[in-house]
Chain A
């Protein structure tokens, strides 16, 4: 006597589940992350306070020296700061996931009949809210300091959309690292080494032409530079489509490489 004699469940709550249910599971878990953000607004400090400090520091401390005029510098800096802000915001995903795994929350999820990918995808989708809040705080502060969109609302929304897509692709690097390191605290430490050359080795803070040749080589291919140029074009007027396409391809490439890596590390980590 083996499986045949084993009793059927007392109660059957769930019917067959397909891809739609997988998406639904992910959305429920994304909702969980959004509630967490609402309850702990202080977790947004890293993506709100830091860019505000950067804004003040660069505009008033270095702006005059770099661009000759703080207002002109603000108009140039702001689109780049949005990119930097998104890049930093995407780091939080891995930290949050590592925390959940360490605390055993994922064991509960994985013992439930939900899609395998749902906890991961849910966390990433929930982070869109983080990105949007981070963008909103930065934009409002910049507008108070005198920043103006010289194009149209449609272009502005396109910039926000580009930023979110970039963040969603970049965050898989953070998820990957989050699956590899033991404790949540270790995640940002490892990622700083990756994010610093990406955001500071760009044209966000200073024009590429002012840099030595060897650095220009990197800065020109850096996706942060490309996305910054796209955002400048869209917000200040000027060409943007090629830059946006280039940045998008970069983001896609990062996602294509790191999504499978992150997923494999996830499966290994949680058994």
Chain B
């Protein structure tokens, strides 16, 4: 058995019910060592419940899970020794400085003073918090706070890092900063479980994506695999004149792989294509031959949002009514 086929995290048929709500309805997952699993789903899909079970904060009603070789309910202490959790609410102590926060975590992991201090400095440098090291965390920006929280999860060099919505509530800049740091973590070979509501985030960071909705895993695979599930690319045009739409639709039907869709109101037309840029060039050549003026043209790879929509019938980011 080699390291490449080892599994760092495994869950089997996890079920958890809160009152009348079934938060998890039989979740299975598996994360090979050294890879990133992105758990993607809307609010209330069961992401945080899964994270809380895998990090020993919650016991499942039924089902089993192992992290780093240990059963989460039978050997929670051993699991806790192997994980680092960075939660949805950045768990930094606002009154302490960045250094003090990390030093305290090191001490709680049983490090002596010197080791805890050295580790704190190491992480502050790595997470570019050096200059802010002696400032109370309450003066930090949202992105800095998340980075400090993330650093706190890494103090004991855990085998498995769990990041529960690491960029929720951050501005684009804070999000980019956090992604960068997670990217480095992944490059170092950590096994990561990442939950997110952002399709782009899962696409960027995860090796494998698990789509979860209503406590059930509804799809899993690489981002490419999920995208290919809903077909190839899509050619989209915006015309100058609505009168040209019927002729355009005819052209698109010839170059595309399915029936084109036309919207008169916005003067748009789009069609799925199998041949990518070849279809794009061919379509433009034919339209040009008929003197049809095109304002805008684009070739889309399907986004994960398209995947989500086709899998669940609702968008990942739209708020669901409580039912």
Question: 1/0 contact trace for A104-132 toward B, CB 8 Å?
Answer: 11111111111000100000000000000
Binary interface profile of B, 1-12, with partner A (CB < 8 Å = 1, else 0)? 101011111101
Write the chain B residue with the least CB distance to A28. B107
Residue A11 CB within 8 A of the other chain = yes
Closest Cβ neighbor of A108 among chain B residues: B91
Give residues of chain A (6-48) contacting chain B, Cβ–Cβ below 8 Å. Answer: 6-15, 17, 21, 25, 28-29, 31-32, 35-36, 39-40
Give the CA-CA distance A106 to B12 in the complex, in Å. 27
Cβ–Cβ < 8 Å partners of B95 in chain A: 35-36, 39-40
Task: Answer yes or no: B82 CB below 8 A from chain A CBs.
Answer: yes
Residue of B at shortest CB range from A103? B89
A11 and B6 contact, CB distance less than 8 A: no
Bound-complex Cα distance A32 to B1 (A) = 45
- Minimum CB–CB distance for A58 against chain B, Å: 34
Check B82 against A271 for contact (C-beta < 8 Å): no
Of chain A, the residue at the smallest CB distance from B75 is A3
Taking a contact as CB atoms under 8 Å apart, the answer to whether A21 and B110 are in contact is yes
B95 CB, nearest partner CB in chain A, Å: 4
Interface hits, B52-110 → A, CB 8 Å: 52, 55-58, 64, 66-71, 77, 80-85, 87-93, 95-96, 100, 104-105, 107-110
A25 near B158 with CB under 8 A, answer no
- A2 contacts the other chain (CB 8 A): yes
Within the complex, which residue of A14, A28, A271 is in contact with B57, where a contact is CB–CB below 8 Å? A271
Tell whether A111 pairs with B6 under 8 Å between CB atoms, given A15-B110, A32-B96, A35-B100.
no
Tell yes or no: A210 within 8 A of B by CB. no
**Residues of chain B within 8 A of A106, CB atoms compared:** 91
- Complex CA–CA separation, A52 to B82 (angstroms): 51
Q: Which of B52, B77, B191 is within 8 Å of A113, CB to CB?
A: B77
Partner of A6, one of B6, B107, B156: B6
* Chain A residue contacts of B9, Cβ below 8 A: 6
Residue of B52, B89, B111 near A271 (CB, 8 A) is B52
Please indicate the chain B residues that have their CB under 8 angstroms from the CB of A113 in the complex: 77, 80-81, 109-110
- Give the shortest distance, in Å, between B188 (CB) and chain A (any CB): 10
Taking CB atoms and an 8 Å cut-off, the chain A residues in 49-95 that contact chain B are none
Contact across chains for B56 and A108 when beta carbons are under 8 A apart = no
- Which single member of A3, A7, A10, A270 contacts B157 (CB below 8 Å)? A10
CB nearest neighbor in A for B10: A6
Is the CB–CB distance between A3 and B110 below 8 Å? no
Q: How far is the CB of A138 from chain B (nearest CB, A)?
A: 25
Q: How close is B20's CB to chain A, nearest CB, in angstroms?
A: 19
Q: Which residues of A contact B87 (CB under 8 A)?
A: 104, 107-108
Whether A11 lies near B108 (C-beta < 8 A) is no
The reply to whether the CB of B33 lies closer than 8 angstroms to some CB of chain A is yes
Q: What number of residue pairs across chains A and B have CB atoms under 8 A from each other?
A: 135
Question: Which of A104, A105, A114 sits near B88, CB closer than 8 Å?
Answer: A104
A13 touches B108 (CB 8 A): no
B29 to chain A, nearest CB (A): 13
List residues 1-45 of chain B with CB under 8 A from any CB of chain A: 1, 3, 5-10, 12, 33
List the A residue with the shortest CB-CB distance to B100: A35
Q: Is the CB of A10 within 8 A of B159?
A: yes
Q: Is the CB of B108 within 8 A of A7?
A: no
How many residues does chain B have at the interface if contact means C-beta atoms less than 8 Å apart?
A: 58
Asked if A6 meets B8 with Cβ closer than 8 Å, knowing A32-B96, A114-B108, A271-B57, the reply is: yes
Name the CB-closest residue of B to A7.
Answer: B6
A5 contacts partner chain B, Cβ-Cβ < 8 Å: yes
Chain B residue numbers with a CB within 8 Å of A112 are: 80, 105, 108-109
Give Cα distance in the complex from A108 to B108, angstroms.
11
Contact B93 A111 (CB under 8 A): no
Among B5, B33, B58, B82, the most chain A Cβ lie within 10 Å of the Cβ of: B82
**B152 proximal to A (CB < 8 A):** yes
Let me know if B110 and A108 touch, CB within 8 A: no
Contact of B104 among A21, A32, A271 (CB under 8 A): A32
The verdict on B117 contacting chain A, using a C-beta distance below 8 Å, is no
Chain B residues, Cβ within 8 Å of A110:
56-57
- Assess whether B276 is interfacial by the CB under 8 Å rule: no
B136 at the interface (CB under 8 A from A): yes
Using A13-B81, A110-B57 as known contacts, say yes or no to A2 and B159 having CB atoms under 8 A apart.
Answer: no
- Give the residue among B10, B71, B91, B100 with the most A Cβ atoms within 10 A: B91
- Residues from chain A with a CB closer than 8 A to the CB of B55 are 111
Bound complex: CA A3 to CA B75 (Å): 12
Q: How far is it, in angstroms, between the C-alpha of A17 and the C-alpha of B64 when the chains are bound?
A: 25
A32 to B93, CA, bound (A): 9
Distance between Cα atoms of A5 and B32 in the complex (Å) = 10
Given contacts A10-B157, A17-B110, A271 and B58 within 8 Å (CB-CB)? yes
Closest 7 CB pairs of A and B: A104-B89, A108-B91, A7-B6, A9-B159, A111-B85, A113-B80, A6-B69
By a beta-carbon cutoff of 8 Å, the part of chain B in contact with chain A is 1, 3, 5-10, 12, 33, 52, 55-58, 64, 66-71, 77, 80-85, 87-93, 95-96, 100, 104-105, 107-111, 136, 149, 152-153, 156-159, 162, 189-191
A-B CB contact pairs (8 Å), 15 listed: A2-B12, A3-B66, A7-B3, A13-B109, A14-B81, A17-B77, A31-B104, A32-B93, A35-B96, A39-B136, A105-B91, A108-B85, A108-B91, A111-B56, A111-B83
- Contacts A1-B7, A29-B104 known; list 10 others, CB within 8 Å: A5-B6, A6-B67, A7-B33, A10-B190, A11-B156, A13-B111, A28-B107, A107-B85, A107-B89, A108-B87
